[in-house]
Amino acid sequence: MPSDGSSGRKRVECLIRITGFGNFNTVKSASLDGISQSGSATRPLAQEAKLLRRAYAPARLAMKYHPYYHGKIEIAPKVPVNSYDDFAIWYTPGVADPCKEIQRNPERVFDYTNKSNGVAIVTDGTRVLGLGDIGPEAGLPVMEGKSLLFKYLGGVDAYPICLGTKDPVQIENAV
């Protein structure tokens, strides 16, 4: 095995052709167990290609599904709405009575609203899940993902808020 890593490079280039993923640097940086530091192989090429396809599958599916669903979360009613008449219960004029009760007894806000089950996930986009400073817009998919985890794993309604400022005072005022 040559010590210059040329056989390792050829192996990675072959994997790229087989799997159709990335380029030499992205595949090499995947640091699979099958490629040692010198580039020598410890597992068959077909098995390594299968592992690479499996490793890249979530990223490929993410790029397919994100635009299809236009995000991961939505706000949906948890009350029954069977006709337009139901809006009179849940909005106006029916909503006025819970508002008045909360005004008289502020602690009742937890009985009449979702306040006890809602949290905000706030970012300015500077430290996003190992991606670094990618900005608030680019950070939104990660924040939606966190919202999904909160809801799915804990039943908590989490609302992503991506702030377009890095000024600590403005962030504090917003939160």
Residue type, 90: W
Of 21, 73, 66, 69, which is closest to residue 48 (Cα–Cα)?
21
DSSP code at position 113: S
Q: Which residues contact 32 (CB under 8 A, 6 or more apart)?
A: 48, 51, 52, 55
Q: Catalytic pick from 91, 100, 115, 166?
A: 91
Verify whether residue 65 is a known catalytic residue: no
Strand bridging mode 157-162 / 118-123: parallel
Between the alpha carbon of residue 149 and those of residues 13, 77, 140, the distances in Å are 37, 19, 14
Is residue 146 flagged as an active site residue?
yes
The H or E element spanning position 4 is none
Q: Distance between CA atoms of 31 and 94, rounded to whole angstroms?
A: 60
Upper half-sphere CA count for residue 48 (Cβ side, 13 Å) = 24
Tell me the catalytic residues.
Answer: 91, 146
